Structure 1
Amino acid sequence: MKYNSKTKTVVMTSILLCLLGFFIQSHAVRLSGSCPTSHTMDMSGMATNNNAIKSVGKLAEAQCSNCHGIDGNGVNASDDVPNLAGQEFMYLCAWLSECRKRGNKCEGHEDIAAHLSDHDIVGLAMFYTHSPSKW
């Protein structure tokens, strides 16, 4: 198939804009917060490790389910409480990490976040990222 130079320019510009968008998005996450240093932990086996899944599931149920629901899809659809299921890993990880740092300026999460370890934050972020969203 033959393309003229105008078509090639449009395609190349579109590709460059997409790449720029990905760069800006990842840069914004780095500026606003990031996962704790334990994000380099080997979490790849978590999906097959039943004990790790149960442990994080129990933590999610104990700490998050009252407001965000057992499966992370909220208690009811009319709430202003955000759904955690299906959220981006880096977003959840960075938000919990920053919440832990900010203390009492964290929309009611200060008591929960203060007691989370780096491993807990990464585990919860992975748990909810891989939970199916109903909305």
Structure 2
Amino acid sequence: MSKHTSILNRRRCWSSEINARMNFNRCSSWGCQGGRTDQHRALITEELKEPVENDAIAFCPDMWTDPIRQISYLGITTTFINNQYEYRSYDLCCAPFEEENKSAENIITALQKELKTFSIIDLSMLKFVSDRG
């Protein structure tokens, strides 16, 4: 496989690598089926515990608006180095941001709601990185 083919098929290749590592069979490109989403979320939740407890993780929220549908979204990516010194990065969510006002209070509420899915309750000690956008 050429370098260019590898880049073009990155999504498929990365999915295959994740599936092999996590012992999943096959995920569709639009999400996992048959309870695999919950399995994958549970594995990520477990992997996030240690870096969150040791203050060794960063969260990067991103907000944007779909200009055609006029819907705002909140995405959250997290990055850290695990205890085997391997770089990890996960896109934790891409969820509609339903508040009209993008105030700090509303953003924090949305972050709390989405991170609660990964058993992260207290945001006060977390590190957030933003592009000020």
TM-score by length of 2: 0.28
Larger-Rg structure = 1
TM-score by length of 1: 0.28
Q: Which has the higher helix share?
A: 1
- By relative contact order (CA 8 Å, sep 6+), the higher-ranking structure is 1
